Amino acid sequence: MIYWAQLFHFYQPPTQIPSVLEKICKESYDPLLDVFKEHSNARATVNINGVLVEMLKDCGHTKIIQGLKELAEKGQIEITGTGKYHPILPLIPPDEIKRQIELNQKTNSFYFGNTYKPAGFFPPEMAYGRDILPAVIGAGHRWIILSGVACPTNWPVDTIYQVEHEGKKLALFFRDNILSNKISFQELGPQDFLEHLKSLRGDKENIYVVTAMDAETYGHHIQDWEELFLAEVYEELQVRSETYAHIKQTKVLAAQQSSLLQDSETAQQVQTATISQLLEVFPTGEVIDPKPSSWSTSDEDISAGNYYPLWKDKDNEIHRLQWEHMATCIDICLSAVQIADNDESKRFANIARGLLDRALHSCQFWWASRRPMWDINLVYLGLVEQWRTIINAYKAIVSSGAADELKKENYHKVELADEHRKNIIDKLFT
């Protein structure tokens, strides 16, 4: 049997505007859920960040939340854990990693209720480094999905590798980058895809294949792809499975039906599954140490020590300035939370703390990568989120009863952040 486990990544940044969200819902999310409702044989894993769930609620798209909940109740999907505001986890402090996971857990538990029991974890952009393991394991997850490029040894097809931290183990699943990208870029049709799966099996009794992509691939990035590819695959699997069962039951093996039997046997060998279901079928194997990487990292990037090139490229000056600004932003905000000692200062500190959670989102760095993504407005929107955090944090500090020397020290941090901010803006003009 070939077990095909898909992961759909639903995400929009906190700076997304309602009209664009509505377009994405209409083109992608609604049709994608319809495909699942129409094909009871479909199984998949879903990652949806808490920030998107809240935006769906606030913008009147509760049907999507309810649709995901119903699919989870039927066992067709499982929903993973992740960071609420889609930060690049290896690039932020450990306490912020833990907080982002906890915020996501709280939000998704509220909207999905008891159906939200995340066994697995999706690190935003599949950005992995060992520093994220304490928070991921500590939150109770059983497995994590990483980019295929992170696999440091033989490619797993019938065993599940593990990673270990302080005596605790986490199952590892690796995205088949080649197959996932072929689907995402329309390089495989339904029939070619099924034949490709068959070719991967070789002489093994059971294997698994994990694909993962943005949910927006279906319908938004590629018009009608949820019907032209996904629905067609599910339909083919269902029809051939039923045909195979009928032929076997009636024992009709006439020569003219041999081709039909062969086709249906091929489909019978493919079964959709959630990633967690793979743990019930395949044995866990050796403990390995995955490479730090993301699903946009190449082997060449890893060799150069450039593990997260779309978010912190070693040769990208804007990235350097953005992260220096972010470091100062985090520092001032955490100082404000600690210093606040009266109602007014605590109010501004709480505002700053909430804004910092949002300000950590990954998109502002992605749009500054020039590989080839470049959009000065979306880079600037991220800078605004950070600057709002700084303003409220410093207001909390000056409103507190802290010593003048401490207030002066934090004002120097504000000046430093302002210098970084101006430098970033200058870079946006070049």
| Domain edges within the chain | 2-300, 310-428
Predicted model pTM: 0.93
Dihedral angle, C-alpha 370, 376, 382, 388, nearest 10 °: 150
The C-alpha atoms of residue 178 and residue 156 are separated, in whole angstroms, by: 15
What's the start-to-end Cα distance of the chain, in Å?
A: 55
Render pLDDT for 177-208 as a digit per residue (tens, 0 to 9).
999 999 999 999 999 999 999 999 888 999 99
- Residue pLDDT, tens place only, 101-130: 999 999 999 999 999 999 999 999 999 999
Say what the pLDDT of residue 241 is. Answer: 61
3-state secondary structure of 209: strand
Q: What is the pLDDT of residue 251?
A: 52
Quick one: CATH architecture of 2-300?
Answer: Alpha-Beta Barrel (3.20)
Cis ω on the peptide bond leading into residue 87 (within 30° of 0)?
no
Q: Are 87 and 360 in contact (CB under 8 A)?
A: yes
Tokens 């939200």 sit on residue: 116
Counting as low any pLDDT under 50, the low residues of the chain are 244, 246, 252-253, 255, 261, 264, 267
